[in-house]
Chains A and B, each alone.
Chain A
Amino acid sequence: MMKKFTLFSLALKNLKRKPLRTSILVIAIGLLVSAFVFALSFVRRVDSSIKITSERLGADLLIVPTGSRGAAEDVLLENEVKSFYMDKGIVERVKKIKGVDELTYQTYLVTITGACCDVPESIVIAFNQDTDFIIKPWLNKKLGRRLQKGEAIVGSESAFNIRIGLTEVDSVLFGNMFKMVGVLDKTGTGLDNAIFIDDENIADIVRGGKANIKSGQISLIFAKIKKGHDPYKVAGEIEDSIIEVDAVARKDIGKNIINTLRDINRIFSITVILASILSVFLVWAVFSAIANERAKEIGIMRAIGAKEYHVVRLFFLEVLVIGSIGSIIGIISGTVLSLLMAKSFTILKNLAADLNTVERVFIATLSFLIGTVVCVAGALSPIQRIKKLEPLLAIKEE
């Protein structure tokens, strides 16, 4: 027996009166919130991957063979294993374009699976250590020296994939023996899934004939722009004077994905909005029924001194209990769903960056608000109606 009689305990008792109806409402809110959590996690994750990658690459321009822009973005943003080539002579031609400062180039090689002692299919990036400014910061931090010929260093994810630890192991890449000398820290980009070698090794690999590459080929060029030059202008100039390449400004890296994402985003938004409207109606219908059922009780309470505010508070407590439980269930199931789906959604599976705790908390908070606001919005008009009931009329109702 409670000592002090509170409206909250009354609200809980009211909810227990029709457990099935209460559960249906809670589940409906849970579904809505979990759809919201899922959609938001998806969008935020793709978004932050693109941002991190374009920031960390440290280049103003990305220059790729004409038509290979998508493939390049797939490698850099989504860890896909793809190769595309252009002539190495293009490096010199790009250098001559006004506004171009430093540049470096990389060659992407795809390993072949199945053969003995080969690593599983992954991308091998041959880079030029004399000009490189993309890998160097990470390499310096981990190895503190240049990579020698016959040595390879692996990205953090890739290390996991090919199961090498911190110990040095030898692996066969394209028929050549490589000494794995270390694992790079996580960069949060597609580079985490690559294996890095110096481009001196390419000659041997070409000679071995086990990679689909001819001598004198590279995959892409990263360029820095001189101060005061507009990256878009320089990119345009490069494309105009060298028809074999596409030039992508840093801000545009991932634009293709962003466009796709925008469509997905729109679909998610429409779904969530429709689901919200549906939930508002559901809450409205249920609370209208509740208001009718309890008219007499509310009349009695008003007659013995409940103010309009007490009636509103009593109902809001019920609404908030439903909203919070539903939202919490939704947040948990939505998060679990997005983690499970991450494994089967290609676009998510390959994304470099994961959501951090701050973002997850942000998503959870926002979703909680959505769940509660939907409940309150649906219950508002029935509550307004019932608080205005005349006590005498309400009491006489049977």
Chain B
Amino acid sequence: MIEIKNLIKTYNIGGQTIKAVDNVSLMIEKGDLVSIVGHSGSGKTTLLSLIGGLTMPASGSVIIDGIDIWSMGDDKLSEFRNKKISFIYQFSSLIPTLTVLENVMLPTAFGSHDENAEEYAKKLLDTVGLKDKMTSYPSQLSGGQQRRVAIARAFINKPEIILADEPTGDLDEETEKEILSLFHSMNREKNITFVIVTHDKEIANQAKRKLKMGNGSIKEL
């Protein structure tokens, strides 16, 4: 379960303070599938990053399964990012020197070694339709293909929570549907909690719970 209490994140630009996330409180149950919509610049990526432990809040807390993640030391927080939570980025996020398969397997290099990691990585690549691109490098892929590699990578360490920031941004309708059905089946079968930021009404409507952000605040739809 994710508990967010009075979360505030501010940025300073040229002497002005912007509240990117403004006093957000929120509970997300385990196994939920939540969508977040909102205008560009409303604070969606910032909120997701706060939950994922990628950026430090100005105040407030993110409590996951009873532990305040920002009270953990760097080692524990890194472990948490490695095992418990996965992030699918709005931005391209692959390592250019590594092949597609190596990119998918990269999280296993920072955790305990799993004998079956390679098998699982191949299976995930198959699921996202990139079985024949395993030995390609990111620069040899299209934007949508890169996105799918990142999606496959998000599942490699069998996380409990997946935070997806516009995961289907540059995918065609067909592929988008496949990715969505993957998310839904993972949610159903493995009880993985999903928080999906999207501009796509269809995706938002398929979620179990819909939220909307505006000016750093959040409300239920």
Report the separation of the CA atoms of residues A333 and B56 in the bound assembly, to the nearest whole angstrom.
Answer: 51
When the two chains form the complex, which single residue of B91, B101, B107, B110 contacts A396, counting CB atoms closer than 8 Å? B91
When the two chains form the complex, which single residue of B54, B74, B102 contacts A395, counting CB atoms closer than 8 Å? B54
Report the separation of the CA atoms of residues A226 and B102 in the bound assembly, to the nearest whole angstrom.
Answer: 80
Q: Is A17 at the interface (CB under 8 A from chain B)?
A: yes
- Contact of A307 with B109 in the complex, beta carbons under 8 Å: no
- Contact of B135 with A1 in the complex, beta carbons under 8 Å: yes
Report the separation of the CA atoms of residues A234 and B52 in the bound assembly, to the nearest whole angstrom.
Answer: 85
When the two chains form the complex, which single residue of A297, A303, A306, A307 contacts B54, counting CB atoms closer than 8 Å? A303
Q: Is B105 at the interface (CB under 8 A from chain A)?
A: yes
Name the distance in Å between B8's Cβ and chain A's nearest Cβ: 16
- Known pairs A4-B113, A5-B106, A7-B109; A395 contacts B56 (CB<8 A): no
- Contact of B74 with A308 in the complex, beta carbons under 8 Å: yes
Q: Is B153 at the interface (CB under 8 A from chain A)?
A: yes
Report the separation of the CA atoms of residues A379 and B113 in the bound assembly, to the nearest whole angstrom.
Answer: 29
From B61-69, B79-87, B167-175, B207-215, the one touching the partner chain is B79-87
Q: Is B142 at the interface (CB under 8 A from chain A)?
A: no
Name the distance in Å between A309's Cβ and chain B's nearest Cβ: 8
Report the separation of the CA atoms of residues A125 and B118 in the bound assembly, to the nearest whole angstrom.
Answer: 80
- Contact of A305 with B82 in the complex, beta carbons under 8 Å: yes
When the two chains form the complex, which single residue of B74, B78, B95, B117 contacts A300, counting CB atoms closer than 8 Å? B95
Q: Is A264 at the interface (CB under 8 A from chain B)?
A: no
Number of interface residues of B (CB under 8 A): 37
Q: Is B111 at the interface (CB under 8 A from chain A)?
A: yes
Name the distance in Å between A18's Cβ and chain B's nearest Cβ: 11
Name the distance in Å between B126's Cβ and chain A's nearest Cβ: 16
Report the separation of the CA atoms of residues A32 and B110 in the bound assembly, to the nearest whole angstrom.
Answer: 35
Query: Looking at chain A, what size class is its interface with the partner chain?
Result: 20 to 34
Q: Is A166 at the interface (CB under 8 A from chain B)?
A: no
- Known pairs A1-B135, A392-B49; A306 contacts B110 (CB<8 A): yes
Report the separation of the CA atoms of residues A307 and B77 in the bound assembly, to the nearest whole angstrom.
Answer: 8
- Contact of B98 with A13 in the complex, beta carbons under 8 Å: yes
When the two chains form the complex, which single residue of A10, A302, A396 contacts B78, counting CB atoms closer than 8 Å? A302
- Contact of A301 with B106 in the complex, beta carbons under 8 Å: yes
- Contact of B97 with A395 in the complex, beta carbons under 8 Å: no
Report the separation of the CA atoms of residues A309 and B96 in the bound assembly, to the nearest whole angstrom.
Answer: 22
- Contact of B95 with A307 in the complex, beta carbons under 8 Å: no
Report the separation of the CA atoms of residues A301 and B105 in the bound assembly, to the nearest whole angstrom.
Answer: 12
- Known pairs A10-B98, A395-B54, A395-B93; A304 contacts B106 (CB<8 A): yes
- Contact of B97 with A14 in the complex, beta carbons under 8 Å: yes
Q: Which of B85-129 contact A (CB under 8 A)?
A: 86-87, 89, 91, 93-98, 101-102, 105-111, 113, 117-118
When the two chains form the complex, which single residue of B52, B82, B108 contacts A5, counting CB atoms closer than 8 Å? B108
Nearest neighbor of B52 in chain A, beta-carbon distance: A303
When the two chains form the complex, which single residue of A305, A392, A393, A395 contacts B110, counting CB atoms closer than 8 Å? A305
When the two chains form the complex, which single residue of B49, B95, B118 contacts A301, counting CB atoms closer than 8 Å? B95
B96 neighbours in A (Cβ, 8 Å): 297
Report the separation of the CA atoms of residues A85 and B208 in the bound assembly, to the nearest whole angstrom.
Answer: 111
Name the distance in Å between B133's Cβ and chain A's nearest Cβ: 14
- Contact of A304 with B82 in the complex, beta carbons under 8 Å: yes
Report the separation of the CA atoms of residues A165 and B107 in the bound assembly, to the nearest whole angstrom.
Answer: 72
Nearest neighbor of B111 in chain A, beta-carbon distance: A305
When the two chains form the complex, which single residue of A305, A308, A390, A398 contacts B55, counting CB atoms closer than 8 Å? A390
Name the distance in Å between A313's Cβ and chain B's nearest Cβ: 11
Report the separation of the CA atoms of residues A7 and B109 in the bound assembly, to the nearest whole angstrom.
Answer: 7
- Contact of A392 with B111 in the complex, beta carbons under 8 Å: no
Q: Is B132 at the interface (CB under 8 A from chain A)?
A: no
Nearest neighbor of A310 in chain B, beta-carbon distance: B110
Report the separation of the CA atoms of residues A303 and B81 in the bound assembly, to the nearest whole angstrom.
Answer: 6
Q: Is B189 at the interface (CB under 8 A from chain A)?
A: no
Report the separation of the CA atoms of residues A302 and B110 in the bound assembly, to the nearest whole angstrom.
Answer: 9
Report the separation of the CA atoms of residues A302 and B77 in the bound assembly, to the nearest whole angstrom.
Answer: 10
Nearest neighbor of B82 in chain A, beta-carbon distance: A305
Q: Is B75 at the interface (CB under 8 A from chain A)?
A: yes
Name the distance in Å between B33's Cβ and chain A's nearest Cβ: 22
Report the separation of the CA atoms of residues A339 and B135 in the bound assembly, to the nearest whole angstrom.
Answer: 49
Q: Is A150 at the interface (CB under 8 A from chain B)?
A: no
Name the distance in Å between A149's Cβ and chain B's nearest Cβ: 82
A309 neighbours in B (Cβ, 8 Å): 75
Nearest neighbor of B95 in chain A, beta-carbon distance: A297
Name the distance in Å between A300's Cβ and chain B's nearest Cβ: 5
Name the distance in Å between A176's Cβ and chain B's nearest Cβ: 80
Q: Is B157 at the interface (CB under 8 A from chain A)?
A: yes
Nearest neighbor of A387 in chain B, beta-carbon distance: B74
Q: Is A6 at the interface (CB under 8 A from chain B)?
A: yes
Name the distance in Å between A232's Cβ and chain B's nearest Cβ: 65
- Known pairs A13-B97, A306-B78, A307-B78; A391 contacts B107 (CB<8 A): no
When the two chains form the complex, which single residue of B78, B97, B117, B118 contacts A305, counting CB atoms closer than 8 Å? B78
B87 neighbours in A (Cβ, 8 Å): 303-304
Q: Which of A1-37 contact B (CB under 8 A)?
A: 1, 3-7, 10, 13-14, 17
A5 neighbours in B (Cβ, 8 Å): 102, 105-106, 108-109, 117
When the two chains form the complex, which single residue of A3, A301, A303, A390 contacts B56, counting CB atoms closer than 8 Å? A390
Name the distance in Å between A308's Cβ and chain B's nearest Cβ: 6
Identify 11 residue pairs between A and B in the complex whose beta-carbon atoms are under 8 Å apart, listed by A's number: A3-B118, A6-B109, A303-B87, A305-B82, A305-B107, A305-B111, A306-B82, A307-B79, A308-B74, A308-B75, A310-B110
* Pairs of residues from A and B, 3 with the lowest C-beta to C-beta distance, nearest first: A305-B82, A392-B55, A307-B78
**Supplied contacts A301-B95, A308-B78, A392-B49, 4 more A-B pairs, CB within 8 Å:** A3-B118, A5-B109, A304-B82, A307-B79
